[in-house]
Structure 1
Amino acid sequence: MYKEISSIHNPTIKQLVLLQEKSKERRKKGFFLIEGIREVNLALKSGFELTEVFYCEEIITQDELENLKEVLPDSVSQVIVSEEVYKKIAYRSGTEGLLACAKSKPNSLEDLILPENPLILIAEAPEKPGNIGALLRTADAAGVDAFILANPKTDLYNPNIIRSSVGGLFTVDIATGSTQEVIQFLEARNINCYAAILQEAISYEKQDFTKPTALVVGTEADGLSQEWRTRATQNIIIPMQGSLDSMNVSVAAAILVFEARRQRGFN
């Protein structure tokens, strides 16, 4: 089914703008927007349910459009929008003229399906969408079994997270919960928890990550909360040679998860 929209005052366009700009609206409606050809394709492959796609024929190429139509389920409405309308609903400049509306997933801890010997990356209370996006890219690159946000401060479907994750939001199994809920989840499944903390810690290189493992990182400003300090299996540290005592959270996470992967033989 096709339709066309050429006015930025169209009610559908106004609703899309709200979904793009307001986390409250995304939570209320249970929908979010995906922008870009790669991101839309990754969402489809990962089982996200799309309701509508909006494309601008002045921007998207004919080949890209035909490829998209081949993979779109019949249930997805297709809407042709003018260039003015597309610029109104697009979050970032330079995208390929494609935007989709998708249903949010619940991201419950209980919905995670883990293998027998999981490797999990956990981030506590990251506030910057760019950092969350970078963590998702790291999680995807390392092939972790799950990425968990403890005490999330930012809406997971924030458009800047989708942009900065380059679609990693759709390729990694994600769950959210309070710090207490996440710790209980790990303990109930006998998953060893290694917290990146400066105090009472050993070098990450000396720790065995070959058994069920959760690697936990905090913010550069505040680190991890006291609950992680006291209930972790072991606190670990990344020794640094400079004058500073912290590094970007996604960099620290990458060092830790790839060391775990190295120990596991990258299987």
Structure 2
Amino acid sequence: MKKLTSIQNSYIKDLTKLQEKSRERKKKGLFLVEGKREISIAMQGNYEIETLLFVADLFSPLELKNNINTTVEFIEISKEVYQKLAYRETTEGVLAVVKIKELALNNIVFKNENPLVLVLEGIEKPGNIGAMLRTADAANIDAVFIANSKTDMYNPNIIRSSVGCLFTNQIAVGSSEEIINFLQEKNIAIYSATLQNSNEYHKENYSKASAIVVGTEATGLSEIWREKATQNINIPMQGQIDSMNVSVAAAIVLFEAKRQRNFSI
């Protein structure tokens, strides 16, 4: 079994670039996953592990070896190398090099006739995206669509803040036009969260196929989403400000939709 102890090793330098740079992830078609739970969830989501790196004093590869494809390479690394590669301040001592999946709309398969979908348009902060993926998993919705993406979905902060829910949700990335066309072809009603020409969110019926669409806190949704919406919706504010964190807003509307569906879907 190979053992790497120096942060100056060329392979370790390449992995550091994967962790830090989106263009490297796209170029190599690889990204890093940190932590036993996240790696296990990625495997359950049919992500392909290329290499497993571990610190022998902190982690035994036998903990995952029975569940990993026999083609996976195992590399022992020093604590110094692990600290160089690790994104979180953890001591789990295991990282995986994982192959990127194509997050295409035509890969989405709905398992029921009335899917519930969350659409995120132009969200810039990876932490907000990760939080909404976590909410999507908690609500057990059917898919999350990323419109006009401002960051790649394999950003380490998305993986960290989603606590692995990047791998548990059906996700597709596309332009607003592509996603709207997809929703219309599937007869999925569009509910766009915006202040303009909108009704209070709890007055709408989400029991049929529905997409909840949210945008950035700074500028909100673009015009196309307001115009193509089946209905624009808002969450009435009772304080002095006119908006809330986008991940909180998405959670409120999604769980109202689940309440209407009696959590049965």
Instruction: Tell me which interval the TM-score lies in, with the shorter structure as reference length.
Output: over 0.9
Deviation at 1:71, TM superposition (A): 1.3
- Asked whether 1:101 is paired with 2:100, we answer no
Tell me, in whole angstroms, the C-alpha distance in 2 between the residues paired with 1:113 and 1:95: 37
1:241 counterpart (228, 238, 242): 238
Deviations 1:30-82 (A, max 9, x none): 1100011110000011100000000011222x4xx432122121111111001
Q: Report the counterpart of residue 187 of structure 2 in structure 1.
A: 190
- Asked whether 1:179 is paired with 2:161, we answer no
Deviation at 1:93, TM superposition (A): 1.4
Q: Report the counterpart of residue 25 of structure 1 in structure 2.
A: 24
1:86 counterpart (82, 104, 121): 82
Segments ≥4 residues shifted beyond 3 Å = none
The SS at the match of 1:175 is: strand
Structure 1: tracts of 5 or more residues without a match: none
Letter in 2 for 1:18: K
Deviation at 1:143, TM superposition (A): 0.5
Equivalent pairs: percent with the same residue? Answer: 54
- How many residue pairs are counted as aligned between the two chains? 263
Q: 1:80-229 residue pairs with structure 2 within 5 A? A: 80-114=76-110, 115-229=112-226
Tell me, in whole angstroms, the C-alpha distance in 1 between the residues paired with 2:117 and 2:58: 39
Tell me, in whole angstroms, the C-alpha distance in 2 between the residues paired with 1:36 and 1:48: 15
Tell me, in whole angstroms, the C-alpha distance in 1 between the residues paired with 2:63 and 2:19: 25
TM-score, normalised to structure 1's length? 0.96
Deviations 1:96-143 (A, max 9, x none): 011000110110011100132100001100000100000100100000
Tell me, in whole angstroms, the C-alpha distance in 2 between the residues paired with 1:88 and 1:109: 35
Q: RMSD across aligned C-alpha pairs, in angstroms?
A: 0.9
Deviation at 1:146, TM superposition (A): 0.1
Contact 1:35 / 1:95 at 8 angstroms: preserved in 2?
Answer: no
The SS at the match of 2:71 is: coil
Structure 2: tracts of 5 or more residues without a match: none
Tell me, in whole angstroms, the C-alpha distance in 2 between the residues paired with 1:189 and 1:147: 15
Tell me, in whole angstroms, the C-alpha distance in 1 between the residues paired with 2:12 and 2:80: 11
Q: 1:7-86 residue pairs with structure 2 within 5 A? A: 7-60=6-59, 62=60, 65-86=61-82
TM-score, normalised to structure 2's length? 0.97
